[in-house]
Amino acid sequence: MSGLNWAVQNLIRQRLRTLLAVSGIAISAAMLLDMVMLSGGIEKSFAELLLAKGYQIRLTPKGTLPFDTEATLDRAGSVVGRLRRDTAIESAGAVLGTSLYGRSRDSLVTLVGYGIQPEAQGIYQMQRGRDLTPDDTLGVLLSPAVAGLLGAGVGDTVSLVGRLDPQVAAAGVSRRLVVRGIVRWVYDYRGQPSVGTILPVMQALASGGRPDDTASLLLVKVRNDAAVPAVADRLRKEFPRLEVYSVADLVRFFKQRLVYFRQLSYILATMSLIVTVLLITTLLTITVNERLGEIATLRAIGIARSTVVRQVFIEGTVLTVVGAALGIVLGLATARYLDSILTSFPGLPAAFSFFVPRQESLVTAGLVLMVTGSLAGLYPAWLATRAPIAATLRSEAT
């Protein structure tokens, strides 16, 4: 404890210098924390987004990712039936994504439409009202954005328009539907105007009223999480004309597309550590040089070199701990601000985050910073122990 008191007193003696050093360390610690959160947060956030409703496997048309193109798979009903008969699968459902229009007074607004099977859906969460039932051909679910555009709420009737005839700009098919509920579509970007109906209704709107059994993707929930890789491999063999992706597969593809962010996080994290080392080393070196006479006197009266080394390390540790504590608070605040900027980019799901605060992120950043801060005191400690006692005391006396 005496060593700690001594270190604190020495740092207080140079208040301005200590304050500047702590501020610099705090900024570096905040950058380090943000970069650790960014490097691992992207894939964690994406995985949590995909598993929001517990569906671990997606089936899509060959050569595509989920909703990556407008391609659809045929005979969706029969495929879903085969999936539901599989004893390893708890639930399976089809989703059709398409574009349609909503009638607002005398004009049409462009909407994103989802055809879903309510008994096995994994793409929305109820906010108000009630869910659709599998045979509800007159109901529709709206996102808050569509509710605002159409001025509609739960219980109101809205008019959805399917394909338009390009020659006369008239609707090929139109439906008047009752709003059953307001929902948050899990994969929508912020403010996306989306609506949902049961699958047959959306298929009719998308096809212009012709018989249709297509879907954009199929969602599969496996009973046992540990069996997901084996089930995915089996489905690939059973449905060779479809792409089968587990959440782990999709996270891997996502990481490949966003490798830039990971590289950036590594570079900035390394820079923050270098700045921390330079700050602590510079401050302690200046402090040791100013106190060489005091250190030589202590050595002359019998204080061991190890005690001097320990004292320098304690000062570096105090600087690191105080700076890291302030840096964590600053890092969490800046991460929230930066996340709001990055997630505002067009096309990103509103529920997605780049910076995910996790316990392991805080622990990792703290441990790396503490180790770095301690190592930064090696040179000043070495400088303090190699000063010749007699020459230093003679120089101080003159």
DSSP 188: P
Contact 380, 72 (CB under 8 A): no
Does 37 score more than 50 pLDDT? Answer: yes
* Residue found by looking up tokens 């574009």 in the block: 99
Length of the chain: 398
Does 64 score more than 70 pLDDT? Answer: yes
The pLDDT tens digits of the residues spanning 136-161 come to 999 999 999 999 989 899 999 999 98
Rounded alpha-carbon distances, angstroms, from residue 391 to 96, 281, 394, 396: 85, 25, 5, 9
Does 372 score more than 60 pLDDT? Answer: yes
The pLDDT score that the predictor gives to residue 296 is 66
- Cβ of 365: how many Cβ atoms within 10 Å? 25
Q: Which amino acid is at 137?
A: T
The pLDDT score that the predictor gives to residue 167 is 47
Does 168 score more than 50 pLDDT? Answer: no
Does 166 score more than 60 pLDDT? Answer: no
The pLDDT tens digits of the residues spanning 338-363 come to 888 877 776 667 667 777 777 777 77
Q: With cut-offs at 50, 70 and 90, classify the pLDDT of residue 229.
A: very high
Compute the mean pLDDT over every residue in the chain, rounded to the nearest whole number: 81
Tokens of 394: 């003679």
Give this prediction's pTM. 0.69
108 backbone dihedrals φ, ψ, rounded to 5° = -115, 140
Q: Which amino acid is at 271?
A: M
Distance from the Cα of residue 129 to its chain's centroid:
30
The pLDDT score that the predictor gives to residue 84 is 93
- Name every residue whose Cβ is closer than 8 Å to that of residue 219 and which is 6 or more positions away in sequence: 53, 55, 57, 58, 92, 93, 94, 95, 120, 121, 122, 123
Least confident of 117-121, 201-205, 224-228, 366-370: 366-370
The pLDDT tens digits of the residues spanning 187-200 come to 888 888 999 999 99
Q: With cut-offs at 50, 70 and 90, classify the pLDDT of residue 277.
A: confident
Contact 173, 138 (CB under 8 A): no
DSSP per residue, 313-345:
HHHHHHHHHHHHHHHHHHHHHHHHHHHHHHTTS
Query: Rounded mean pLDDT of 23-50?
Result: 77
* Residue found by looking up tokens 């089996």 in the block: 234
Rounded alpha-carbon distances, angstroms, from residue 1 to 60, 310, 340: 64, 12, 44
Listed as own residue / partner, the contacts of 356-363 with beta carbons closer than 8 Å and 24 or more positions apart are: 356/37, 356/40, 356/41, 356/44, 356/45, 357/37, 357/332, 358/37, 358/40, 358/41, 358/44, 360/40, 361/33, 361/36, 361/37, 361/40, 361/41, 362/33, 362/328
Q: With cut-offs at 50, 70 and 90, classify the pLDDT of residue 328.
A: confident
The pLDDT score that the predictor gives to residue 322 is 85
Does 236 score more than 80 pLDDT? Answer: yes
- Cα–Cα dist 204/162, whole Å: 8
Torsion of CA 213, 108, 165, 139, to 10 degrees: 30
Sign (positive/negative) of CA torsion 366, 369, 375, 380?
negative
- Cα–Cα dist 182/127, whole Å: 6
What is the C-alpha radius of gyration for the chain, rounded to an integer number of angstroms?
Answer: 31
- Cα–Cα dist 98/138, whole Å: 19
The pLDDT score that the predictor gives to residue 80 is 93
Does 257 score more than 80 pLDDT? Answer: no
